[in-house]
Amino acid sequence: MRRLLPLLGLALACQSPPPSQAAPGKDSSASGAPDGGADATGAGDPLALVGAPLVFAPTASSFGLNVVVRDGVDPGGLDLQVQRSPGSGWETLDPPAHPAPDVAQWSVTGLPAGGRVPYRLLQAGDQAHPLYSGSAATEPAPGTPFTFALFTDTHLDPRDPLPAGTTVLPDFYGEMEQTMLDVMAQVSGVGADFVINLGDLLDYHEFGFNEPPPDDHWARLAYLNYRRLLGDTAANAAHFEVIGNWDGESGCNSPDEIARSTAQRLIYSPGPSPTTYPESGSGNQDYYAFTWGDALFVVLNVMTYTPTCHLLDADPGVPDDWTLGTEQMAWLQRTLAGATSKWRFLFIHHTVGGAAGDPADTAYGRGGGQAAHVGEQAQVHALMLQYGVQIFFYAHDHVFTDMVVDGIHYALPGSAGAPWKFDESETGYAQYWTDSGYARARVAPDRVQVDFVSVTGQTLYGFTLP
Residue by residue, DSSP assigns 71-110 as TT--GGGEEEEE-SSTTPPPEEPPPPB-SSTTEEEEEE-S
pLDDT at residue 46, as a whole number = 60
Structural domain contains residue 175 = yes
- Number of domains observed in the structure of the chain: 2
Is the pLDDT reported for residue 9 higher than 60? no
Q: For residue range 314-330, list pLDDT tens digits in order.
A: 999 999 999 999 999 99
Structural domain contains residue 210 = yes
Structural domain contains residue 16 = no
Going by pLDDT thresholds of 50, 70 and 90, the confidence category of residue 161 is low
pLDDT at residue 383, as a whole number = 98
Residue 360: burial class (beta carbons within 10 Å; 0-12, 13-18, 19+): buried
Is the pLDDT reported for residue 26 higher than 60? no
Q: What residues make up the domain containing 129?
A: 46-137
Of the listed ranges 155-159, 237-241, 379-383, the one predicted with least confidence = 155-159
Of 267 and 168, which is predicted with more confidence?
A: 267
Q: Is the peptide bond before 270 cis (omega within 30 degrees of 0)?
A: no
pLDDT at residue 302, as a whole number = 98
Q: For residue range 336-355, list pLDDT tens digits in order.
A: 999 999 999 999 999 999 99
The CATH number given to whatever domain includes residue 109 is 2.60.40.10
Is the pLDDT reported for residue 23 higher than 60? no
Structural domain contains residue 97 = yes
- For residues 406 and 213, give the distance between their C-alpha atoms in angstroms, rounded to a whole number: 40
With beta carbons less than 8 A apart as the criterion, state whether 291 and 139 touch.
Answer: yes
Is the pLDDT reported for residue 29 higher than 60? no
Is the pLDDT reported for residue 40 higher than 80? no
Residues 76 and 199 both lie in one domain: no
Q: What is the mean pLDDT of residues 275-282?
A: 98
Closest to 237 in 3D by CA, of 143, 149, 152, 296: 149
Structural domain contains residue 14 = no
pLDDT at residue 410, as a whole number = 99
Q: For residue range 237-276, list pLDDT tens digits in order.
A: 999 999 999 999 999 999 999 999 999 999 999 999 999 9
Q: Are strands 391-393 and 343-347 parallel, antiparallel or unpaired?
A: parallel
Is the pLDDT reported for residue 204 higher than 50? yes
The CATH number given to whatever domain includes residue 440 is 3.60.21.10
Residues 343 and 459 both lie in one domain: yes
Residue by residue, DSSP assigns 290-350 as EEETTEEEEE--SSTT--S---GGGS---TT-----HHHHHHHHHHHHT---SEEEEE-SS
Residues 332 and 404 both lie in one domain: yes
- At position 423, the amino acid (one-letter code) is D
> How many residues are listed for the chain in this entry?
466
Q: Are strands 194-197 and 238-241 parallel, antiparallel or unpaired?
A: parallel
Q: Distance between the two ends of the chain, CA-based, in angstroms? A: 39
Boundary of a domain, candidates 78, 108, 137: 137
pLDDT at residue 10, as a whole number = 29
Residues 260 and 390 both lie in one domain: yes
pLDDT at residue 160, as a whole number = 73
- For residues 241 and 247, give the distance between their C-alpha atoms in angstroms, rounded to a whole number: 11
Boundary of a domain, candidates 90, 108, 137: 137
Residues 84 and 207 both lie in one domain: no
Going by pLDDT thresholds of 50, 70 and 90, the confidence category of residue 127 is confident
Running DSSP on this structure, what letter comes out for residue 433? Answer: B
